[in-house]
């Protein structure tokens, strides 16, 4: 409806492999980047920017888990633990060695990648639920180690106060300043993932997911790529942990416990496994839904409940609605929000001349 | 394409709900409190937060603070940090002049923000003990005995119980193995060196429901003369039963503030199972306080029965205490502004630091906040399980105050 898909002829391999084969893709992507980087910070209140900040950090983590879960088909319940590895690495580097964020970000990611590769080792032997338990063990082991190693975790409180990021002499304090720190990292992560999944590595991941024996037969080194998937996924998790640490101003393992790992699994599944857009949808959905439900209940609830009890009702209803909506969206479209979006897109693609 | 339409409809409804917001009206003062009614600490939050609301309701029913009504914004964060950060930003946007923080990681994450935004935050029972230092953390107010103060009272109480001399006595410290559980260790080590008692630490790994080995060790092998019990969640209930099973008398044990709720006793099987167990409280337990009668009367005048959350007096009263201190600080700020509702977080911070000997008929300790001491004196009252409730066995007290304050000033 909005654009034509015909009439674009590709005359080179390069054109055929472009990230956005149609001009509208390029226009839309540029438009979104401009919207978020230029328009949003100008019109939105600090509060809304803070929500975008939290959602943007979650997007990075969800992307990382989706590479492992959605593209390579390996499950991990230790994603939050890898975040804590990144968090403490960055905090130690920033506090003890006075490192700027452009070193701590990759350093946290790399350390998490190293630990993630180690944790990924069982994936060479076990699959599915068994691997889930193996990675669950990693979650607890990492938590325990951080809890009991003051050298890493900074003393009895197991928390390290993190200085705010400094960008060319400016301390990034406010939500809008942090916005310009977090969002570029998220955009970078999205672009990197988009490119990763259509590369040789990404195709190898998909081959392993779909049938690992067949993948091995066509010459993919399954062991290597499985570990690589764990490493890349953990790298993203580590970077997420560093972002959280800068955002919270503190590295503390209590912010990265098992329920957070489950949250990230939920983001991937609700958003859509094996899709970049799905990770973004999932992360935004899980982050925003409780807020939206609360605001909705605050508006509607006053008509039904007495003021003092409203808080109790909101808190409980939020959980009920949250669970209900997740089931609703998964029943409507088991392949996740991404598939739902594709359905909408396909519907309007030929609208009003469907069939 | 029915699915698409359903999806679109759902999206529209949610989007419509998202775009609405309110701001503070004239003559209205906004306070924000975080709460956990649905997360891992819901056994506390479900009772604590209604206490807060009811006290504010009581004050509002009497005309508010010099004619200004107080509006409470409560946001439940499930004890997760990102929603807690979002909640704080929301409070700030709505013009909250004081924020009640719920949760230790939240306290730590919000400390720099409170300072930057000049909004005072209170963290009774949460956060690090070093936050009592008002000069280092000007906008953070623990307003209740920190773990260091509790540990100091624990040692002092043990000394009294053991005949006034601790030298050569054996004290066991049983604690939940997380940062909050380990926090009292530095002060315990210091007091051990001062008093010359023997200290042995017993860690309970999360989730704290299995401690047979540790308790057996304390009761049979180590044969502790006194036990300091610093556990949370389900662990206190389990520990009460486990100590009883090993034949260790409960009257030789004192529980810190999070092992001191009605729910902990109920979890152990009721009052009869916990007779003699000593606990510390930073807000008075029980229901024999005038302010609680006033709240009941208020509900009665509306034709309603008293809120059922009141039955859990320990947590309810703690919520009430937080509200009382908040409103007292606001009252001081409003007074300083000649009755205007246009006060800032900074005004409330100054107002809080003028709170002096505020006890609200005994439900609070004689709280005095100063620019230096944001803990309010580090008061604790010891209660004992007797019959069907907690009975006070001491007056409000603090132990080794100079040692605690010295450590607070040093930061460790």
CA of A288 vs chain B CAs: smallest distance (Å): 9
d(CA A128, CA A59): 24
Tokens for A21? 């084969």
Q: Are residues B208 and B343 in the same domain?
A: no
Task: Determine the pLDDT at residue A298.
Answer: 83
B9 located within any domain: no
CB-CB neighbors (< 8 A) of B109 in chain A:
248-250, 252, 255
- Domain range for B270 is 147-281+382-410
CA of A200, closest CA in chain B: separation in Å?
A: 34
CA distance B30 to B142: 20
pLDDT at site B20:
42
Contacts of A152 (CB under 8 A, 6+ apart): A88, A92, A145, A146
CB < 8 Å to B92, chain A:
46-47
CATH number at residue B175: 3.40.50.2300
Q: Are B352 and B369 within 8 A, CB to CB?
A: yes
B42: Cβ contacts below 8 Å, ≥ 6 apart: B36
Which of B2, B70, B108 to mutate to probe the A interface, most A CBs <10 Å?
Answer: B108
Kindly state whether residues B134 and B268 are assigned to the same domain. Answer: no
Give the pLDDT score at A22: 81
B239 and B387 housed in the same domain: yes
What are the strands, taking DSSP E only, across chain A?
159-161, 166-167, 170-171, 250-252
Name every chain A residue with its beta carbon within 8 A of the beta carbon of B35: 311, 315
A175 neighbors A46 (Cβ within 8 angstroms): yes
**Do B315 and B44 touch, CB atoms closer than 8 A?**
yes
Q: B50 vs chain A: nearest CA distance in angstroms?
A: 7
- Separation between Cα atoms, residue A253 and residue A235, nearest integer Å: 17
In a domain, B103, yes or no: yes
Judged by CB atoms closer than 8 Å, whether chains meet at B6 and A255 is answered as no
Same domain for B184 and B134: no
| pLDDT tens-digit series, residues A120-175 | 998 888 888 999 999 999 999 999 999 888 888 888 788 898 889 988 888 888 88
Token pair for B222: 């180590």
In a domain, B7, yes or no: no
Domains of chain A (ranges plus CATH)? 22-271 (1.10.3470)
Residue B321's closest CA among B122, B137, B60?
Answer: B122
**CB spacing of A292 vs B14 below 8 angstroms:** yes
pLDDT at A2: 64
Tell me the residues of chain B between 14 and 53 that have a Cβ less than 8 Å away from chain A: 14, 17-18, 20-21, 35, 37-38, 46, 49-50, 53
How far CA A272 is from CA of A339, B61, B68, in Å, comes to: 7, 51, 50
Cα–Cα distance for residue pair B178/B184, rounded to 1 Å: 11
B200 bridge partner residues: B172
**Inside any domain, residue B89:** yes
SS3 helix, strand, coil % of chain B, rounded to 5? 50, 15, 35
B164 and B98, same structural domain?
A: no
Query: Using the beta-carbon criterion (under 8 Å), do A248 and B111 form an inter-chain contact?
Result: no
B316 and B356, same domain (yes or no): yes
Listed residue (B219, B229, B227) closest to B255, CA to CA: B229
Number of domains in chain B: 2
Q: Which stretch of A1-10, A88-97, A158-167, A191-200 has the lowest confidence by average pLDDT?
A: A1-10
A147 three-state secondary structure: helix
In this prediction, residue B10 carries a pLDDT of 53
Residues B265 and B157 in one domain: yes
- Examine the domain organization and report whether B371 and B386 are in the same domain: no
Average pLDDT of chain A is: 90
pLDDT digit string (tens) for chain B, length 412 residues: 455 555 555 555 545 444 444 444 558 999 999 999 988 888 888 999 999 999 999 999 999 999 899 999 999 998 899 999 999 999 999 999 999 999 888 998 899 899 989 999 999 988 888 888 989 999 999 999 999 999 999 999 999 999 989 999 999 999 998 888 888 999 999 999 999 999 999 999 888 889 999 999 999 999 999 999 999 888 999 999 999 999 999 999 999 999 999 999 999 999 999 999 999 999 999 888 999 999 999 999 988 888 888 988 999 999 999 999 999 999 999 999 888 888 999 999 999 999 999 988 889 999 999 998 999 888 999 999 999 999 999 999 988 999 999 998 886 5
Structure tokens at B13: 């409804």
Output b/e per residue, A38-66; b: 16+ Cβ within 10 A: eebbeebebbbbbbbbbbbbbbbbbbbbb
Q: Are residues B114 and B135 in the same domain?
A: yes
Least CB-CB distance to A308: which of B53, B90, B185? B53
Contact criterion met (CB below 8 Å) for B356 and B398: no
* Tokens 């990034």 sit on residue: A172
Q: Is residue B11 part of a domain?
A: no
Q: Which residues contact B291 (CB under 8 A, 6 or more apart)?
A: B55, B58, B320, B324, B360, B361, B363
Nearest one of B80, B98, B94, B88 to B40, comparing CA atoms: B80
> Taking the mean position of all CA atoms in its chain, how far away is CA A217?
32
Q: Which residue stretches of B337-397 are H helix?
A: 345-352
Which residues of chain B make contact with A308, given a CB cutoff of 8 A? Answer: 50, 53-54, 57, 307
| pLDDT tens figures, B28-86 | 999 999 999 988 888 888 999 999 999 999 999 999 999 899 999 999 998 899 999 99
**Co-location of B396 and B257 in the same domain:** yes
Q: Residue A333 and residue B7: Cβ atoms within 8 Å?
A: yes
Min mean pLDDT across A193-197, A233-237, A317-321, B239-243 is at A317-321
Same domain membership, residue B386 and residue B372 = no
SS3 B100: strand
| Whether B109 contacts chain A with CB within 8 A | yes
Length of chain A: 355
Q: Is B10 within a domain?
A: no
Residue B133 maps to a domain: yes
d(Cα B255, Cα B383) in Å, to the nearest integer? 10
Determine the pLDDT at residue A208. Answer: 95
- Together in a domain, B258 and B173: yes
pLDDT of residue A355: 61
DSSP B43-78: HHHHHHHHHHHHHHHHHHHTTTBTTBEEEEEEEE-T
Say if the Cβ atoms of A296 and B14 lie within 8 Å: yes
Please state, in angstroms and rounded to a whole number, the distance separating the CA atoms of residues A31 and A198.
Answer: 23
Return the pLDDT at B6. 56
Asked if residue B20 is part of any domain, the answer here is no
């Amino acid at each position: 409806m909005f654009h034509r898909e015909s009439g674009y002829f590709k005359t080179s391999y390069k054109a055929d492999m472009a990230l956005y084969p149609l001009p509208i893709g390029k226009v839309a992507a540029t438009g979104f980047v401009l919207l978020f980087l230029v328009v949003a910070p100008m019109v939105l209140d600090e509060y809304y920017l803070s929500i975008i900040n939290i959602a943007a950090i979650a997007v990075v983590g969800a992307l990382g888990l989706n590479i492992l879960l959605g593209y390579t088909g390996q499950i991990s319940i230790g994603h939050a633990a890898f975040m804590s590895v990144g968090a403490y690495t960055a905090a130690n580097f920033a506090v003890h060695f006075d490192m700027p964020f452009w070193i701590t970000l990759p350093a946290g990611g790399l350390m998490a990648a190293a630990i993630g590769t180690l944790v990924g080792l069982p994936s060479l032997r076990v699959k599915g639920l068994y691997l889930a338990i193996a990675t669950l063990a990693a979650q607890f082991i990492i938590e325990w180690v951080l809890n009991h190693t003051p050298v890493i975790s900074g003393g009895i409180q197991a928390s390290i106060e993190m200085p705010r990021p400094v960008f060319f002499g400016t301390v990034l304090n406010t939500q809008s300043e942090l916005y310009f720190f977090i969002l570029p990292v998220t955009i970078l992560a999205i672009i990197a993932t988009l490119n990763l999944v259509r590369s040789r590595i990404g195709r190898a991941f998909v081959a392993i997911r779909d049938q690992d024996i067949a993948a091995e037969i066509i010459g993919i080194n399954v062991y290597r790529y499985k570990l690589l998937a764990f490493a890349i996924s953990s790298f993203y998790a580590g970077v997420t942990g560093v972002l959280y640490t800068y955002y919270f101003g503190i590295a503390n393992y209590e912010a990265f416990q098992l329920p957070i790992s489950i949250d990230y699994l939920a983001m991937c599944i609700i958003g859509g496994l094996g899709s970049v857009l799905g990770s973004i949808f999932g992360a935004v959905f899980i982050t925003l839904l409780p807020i939206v439900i609360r605001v909705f209940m605050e508006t509607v609830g006053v008509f039904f409940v007495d003021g003092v009890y409203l808080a109790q009702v909101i808190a409980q209803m939020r959980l009920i609605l949250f669970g209900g909506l997740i089931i609703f969206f998964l029943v409507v479209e088991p392949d996740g929000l991404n598939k739902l979006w594709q359905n909408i897109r396909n519907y309007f693609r030929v609208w009003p001349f469907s069939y | 394409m029915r699915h698409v339409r359903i999806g679109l409809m759902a999206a529209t409804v949610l989007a419509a709900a998202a775009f609405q917001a309110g701001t503070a009206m004239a003559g209205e003062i906004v306070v924000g409190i975080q709460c956990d009614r649905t997360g891992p600490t819901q056994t506390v939050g479900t009772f604590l937060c209604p206490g807060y609301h009811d006290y504010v309701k009581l004050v509002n029913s009497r005309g508010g603070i010099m004619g200004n009504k107080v509006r409470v914004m409560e946001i439940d964060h499930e004890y997760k940090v990102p929603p807690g950060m979002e909640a704080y930003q929301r409070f700030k946007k709505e013009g909250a002049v004081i924020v009640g923080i719920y949760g230790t990681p939240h306290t730590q994450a919000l400390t720099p923000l409170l300072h930057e935004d000049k909004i005072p935050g209170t963290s009774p029972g949460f956060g690090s003990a070093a936050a009592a230092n008002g000069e280092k953390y000007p906008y953070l107010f623990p307003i209740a005995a920190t773990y260091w103060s509790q540990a100091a009272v624990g040692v002092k109480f043990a000394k009294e119980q053991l005949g006034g001399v601790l030298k050569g006595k054996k004290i066991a410290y049983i604690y939940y193995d997380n940062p909050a559980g380990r926090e009292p260790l530095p002060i315990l080590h210091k007091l051990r060196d001062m008093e010359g008692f023997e200290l042995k630490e017993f860690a309970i790994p999360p989730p704290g429901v299995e401690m047979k080995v540790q308790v057996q060790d304390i009761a049979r092998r180590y044969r502790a003369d006194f036990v300091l019990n610093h556990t949370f969640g389900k662990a206190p209930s389990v520990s009460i039963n486990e100590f009883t099973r090993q034949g260790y008398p409960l009257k030789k044990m004192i529980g810190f503030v999070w092992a001191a709720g009605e729910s902990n006793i109920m979890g152990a099987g009721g009052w009869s199972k916990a007779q003699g167990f000593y606990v510390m409280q930073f807000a008075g337990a029980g229901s024999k306080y005038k302010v609680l009668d006033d709240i009941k009367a208020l509900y009665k005048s509306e034709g309603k029965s008293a809120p059922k959350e009141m039955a859990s007096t320990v947590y309810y009263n703690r919520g009430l205490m937080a509200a009382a201190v908040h409103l007292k600080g606001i009252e001081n700020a409003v007074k300083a502004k000649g009755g205007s509702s246009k006060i800032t977080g900074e005004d409330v911070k100054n107002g809080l630091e003028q709170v002096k000997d505020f006890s609200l008929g005994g439900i609070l300790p004689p709280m005095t906040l100063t620019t230096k001491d944001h803990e309010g004196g580090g008061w604790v009252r010891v209660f004992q399980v007797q019959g069907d409730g907690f009975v006070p066995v001491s007056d409000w007290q603090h132990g080794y105050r100079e040692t605690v304050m010295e450590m607070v000033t040093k930061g460790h």
